[in-house]
Amino acid sequence: MRRMIKGALILLFALLTPACAQSQATGPAQIILLRHAEEPADPDNPHLSPAGVVRANALVSFIRTDPTMSRFGPPVAVFASKATKRDNGQRSQETVAPLAKALGLPVQTPYLGKDYAKLPKRILANPAYAGKTVVIAWTHQDIPKLASDFGVKPRPPKWKDSVYDQVYVIAYQNGNPTLTTFHYDGK
């Protein structure tokens, strides 16, 4: 009798193990992808405009309280493009800095904006992000390509130069990414 029970348990375990393994998250539950906040009129100023600073601060509440943004808990990582010698990328870092501070996280800047294709590989392969939310601020020219590299098909359209309030949420269900667009108030 014990042998039969033991055999049945082994068979049951063998049958359930693949299903359990598939149900466990292997990548992030969602990626929140956004453009840096408003820039100043002076093209030589690499920092956010006063309106951009206000929007960056408003991002904290949006990410922490919006039901879609917070459905998997608070973000576990915040990324932005690395600043170049000419300070390109500075605004992306400044946009997510208040959020990172509120979450007690660093703003990770491993890649220059042009090296966006490396970021999805790094994030999708990191088991620390499994089933969690990751936030990324990048330059608007590269966001559609970045979304595509996270598996979104078809590639989203070009991000308009004048749009600062848009957020892409790439959610993964059974490994399949879906993209939803949201807007947040910068006040």
The closest of 29, 28, 30, 32 to 135, measured between CA atoms, is: 32
pTM: 0.85
**Structural domain 25-183, CATH architecture:** 3-Layer(aba) Sandwich (3.40)
**Angle (nearest 5°) at CA 143 between 137 and 146:** 100
Q: Return the pLDDT at 6.
A: 47
DSSP bridge pairs for 31: 134, 170
Domain ranges of the chain: 25-183
User: CA–CA separation, 162 vs 169, rounded Å?
Assistant: 20
Cβ proximity of 158 and 144 under 8 Å: yes
The closest of 145, 23, 143, 159 to 80, measured between CA atoms, is: 143
Q: Return the pLDDT at 12.
A: 39
Burial class for 116, CB neighbours closer than 10 Å (0-12, 13-18, 19+):
buried
Query: Strand runs (DSSP E) across 51-153, as ranges?
Result: 77-80, 107-108, 133-138
Residue ranges of the chain with per-residue pLDDT less than 70 = 1-25, 86-87
Q: Return the pLDDT at 89.
A: 75
Q: Two tokens at 51?
A: 């309106």
* Residues 6+ positions from 26 with CB-CB distance below 8 Å: 127, 130, 175
pLDDT in tens, 51-93: 999 999 999 999 999 999 999 999 999 999 998 876 577 999 9
